Amino acid sequence: MQLDPGGIPVPVWKTMMKPLTPSQALLGAALAGFVLLLASPAGAQDSVNFSTIGEIVRLDNGLNRLIDREAKIEVLASGFVWSEGPVWVAEEGNEYGGYLLFSDIPKNSVMKWQEGEGVSVYLKPSGFTGVVEYGGEPGSNGLLLDSEGRLVSCEHGDRRVSVLTKNGGKRTLVDHYQEKRLNSPNDACYRSNGDLYFTDPPYGLPKRWEDPDRELEFCGVYRLSADGELTLLTDEMTRPNGIAFSPDEKTLYVAQSDSEAAIWKAFPVKEDGSLGDSRVFYDATQMMGKLPGAPDGLKVDREGNLFATGPGGVHVFSPEGIPLGRISTGERTANCAWGNDGTVLYMTADTYLCRIQTKTKGAGW
């Protein structure tokens, strides 16, 4: 498996392109038509009998309390280029409780999936509003909702964190640190006091770390306070990525998608919101190259268990860092989010949107 300069595996289709035989081309065309039908904004979802992929790898009996032995990974839609950043939007009067938004980064789009309706384009452009081509990942990445229910986006191409105002346009929340442009905000989470914590690796820059337009000499983890003050919390991580709080907000978890140090770190959160000395929560470096993917997005359940995408799918850890098992999609799994009544875990896995029913609930539900 090839890795790009930032340590992320290069998609197989970019490294193994060979001429197709006529029969392969015919089959490919048929499959492409099927994929487009699944992801077509115009086509309504006409079935609840979703196909399934992968398996549940159980490493500890503790996983049985969280995921039923009969649980399956359902494929809700496919045909995306690189799906990321899912967030559940609750909606009153919706018989299914709401809908899911997620990013297709190369397509510069936010997609919407709703039970009974399937997939449609929700927002385009999502992360780059320029008039020229901008690298391979110009769109939004991590998505979340603020206390008013507005969509907050980590934007690669425009190198900012934005909020979609009600019945209006986007407003920039932050796009620079000490008069230098951010790299490409990746993922974010809110603290209950309204402070926004986010990561800023270089993955959205056209040439990533080597991009001539990069202005910062580090990849930071930041806090944007509710009153608009930006603070660099740490620059110790080479490629900070997914980020989430423990239920009591005393610990901040940050994933690092570096092939040489594929780890999750845990930072104690001080009363003033700053971070104490970090510790390695779990090290998955030995898995890199053996299983698809790298440490990326993560979420926490109400008991403090960590659901973290990484090599092989979504890793499930106890609050003590004990690996309980893995939701193995068989794909490079980028991110996850709680949805419906808080018991359903949605996953963006390369070209797929998936979900699995759990026996737990997300933190805050």
Euclidean distance between CA atoms 100 and 197, whole angstroms:
22
Sign of CA dihedral 228, 273, 163, 136: positive
Averaged pLDDT in 10-residue chunks for the chain of 365 residues: 43 39 44 41 58 97 97 97 98 89 98 96 97 95 97 98 93 98 98 98 97 98 97 98 98 97 98 97 97 98 98 98 98 98 98 98 96
Instruction: Count CA within 13 A, CB hemisphere, residue 103.
Output: 29
Give CA torsion, residues 22, 26, 32, 37, to 10 deg: 170
pLDDT of residue 351: 97
Label each residue of 152-193 as H, E or C: EEEECCCCEEEEECCCCCEEEEECEECCEECCCCCCEEECCC
Q: What is the pLDDT of residues 307-353, one digit of tens each?
A: 999 999 999 999 999 999 999 999 999 999 999 999 999 999 999 99
Q: Do residues 312 and 53 lie in contact, with contact meaning Cβ atoms separated by under 8 Å?
A: no
pLDDT of residue 47: 57
Euclidean distance between CA atoms 133 and 157, whole angstroms:
10
The pTM for the full model equals 0.88
pLDDT of residue 50: 85
Residues 6+ apart with CB under 8 A from 170: 153, 162, 163, 164
CATH architecture of 46-357: 6 Propeller (2.120)
Which tokens in the block code for residue 296?
Answer: 């990326």
